[in-house]
Amino acid sequence: MLLLSTAGDLFWLGRYMQRTEYLYQRFFGRNAVNAQTYFSAMGLSPDTETDTETDDWLDRVYDKELPEYFERINDNVQTVRGVIDQDAYDLFNTVNRLRQDGSQRAACFQLQACHRAMQAQEPMISLFWQLGDAVETLDEHIRFGDSNPGHFQQLALVATGLPCGAAWDELKQPAQAMVFTMDIGQFRQWLDRLNELFEDGV
C-alpha cells in the first residue's frame, strides 16, 4: 500500500524532473527561446529589463535556476528512497554528483536515464510519477501555446489508472473529457482538485 504522502512526493518528483529538462531545453536546446518569451510563458519577471537581452540571464538559469530544481529533485528522491529500486536511486545519485560538480548539462542528460528508470518501477510507484510527468508536460505546453490532444491524452491515460475510490474516480472522467475539449480552464480546476487530494487526503 502506497502512502498518500509518498504518492505526492512521486508526483512532484515527476513534475520537477520534467520541469528541469524543459528549462534546459528551452534555454540551451536546439530550439531555444529567448528569455523574454520564457518569462512571459511562465509568468515570471527578470531582475532587470536588460536581463532578457544579455547572457546574464542565461548564466543565472545555468548557475541558479537549474541547481535549485536539481535540489528539489534530490529532496523528493530522498523521501521516496524506500519505494524506488536501487538502480533508480543510483542514477539519481549520479545526477546529484554531476550537478554538484558544476556540470548542469551532463546532469540534465542523466535525468533522461532516470526518466526511463522511473517508468520501469513497480506499477503504482511509476503511476504517480507518470502523473506528475504528464501534468508538467501538459502545463508546459499550455503555457507556451503549443499543447495538442496528445498531451491531454497522455494525462487521461495516466489518470485512468489511478486507484479505485471515490476521490480518485472523480478525476478520471474529467481527464478523459479534456482530450476532446482541450479546455485549459477545466485542466486548471482538475489540477486544483488533484492538489487538494494530496494535501487533504482522499
Share of the chain above pLDDT 90, in %: 67
In a domain, 196, yes or no: no
2-45 residue pLDDT tens? 899 999 999 999 999 999 998 888 777 766 666 666 666 666 66
The answer to whether the beta carbons of residues 6 and 124 sit under 8 Å apart is no
The model carries a pTM of 0.89
Task: Give the HSE-up count for residue 148: Cα atoms under 13 Å, Cβ half-sphere.
Answer: 2
Residue 112: which domain range? 4-122
In a domain, 177, yes or no: no
In a domain, 41, yes or no: yes
35-89 residue pLDDT tens? 666 666 666 665 555 444 546 777 777 778 888 999 999 999 999 999 999 999 9
In a domain, 185, yes or no: no
138-192 residue pLDDT tens? 999 998 888 999 999 999 999 999 999 878 999 999 999 999 999 999 999 999 9
In a domain, 9, yes or no: yes
82-114 residue pLDDT tens? 999 999 999 999 999 999 898 888 999 999 999
Alpha carbon 12 to its chain's center: 7
Contacts of 193-198 with C-beta under 8 Å, sequence gap 24+, read: 194/135, 197/4, 197/167, 197/168, 197/171, 198/4, 198/7, 198/8, 198/11
The answer to whether the beta carbons of residues 52 and 69 sit under 8 Å apart is no
Instruction: Provide the number of structural domains found in the chain.
Output: 1
**Position 136, amino acid:** E
In a domain, 109, yes or no: yes
In a domain, 82, yes or no: yes
In a domain, 159, yes or no: no
The answer to whether the beta carbons of residues 21 and 111 sit under 8 Å apart is yes
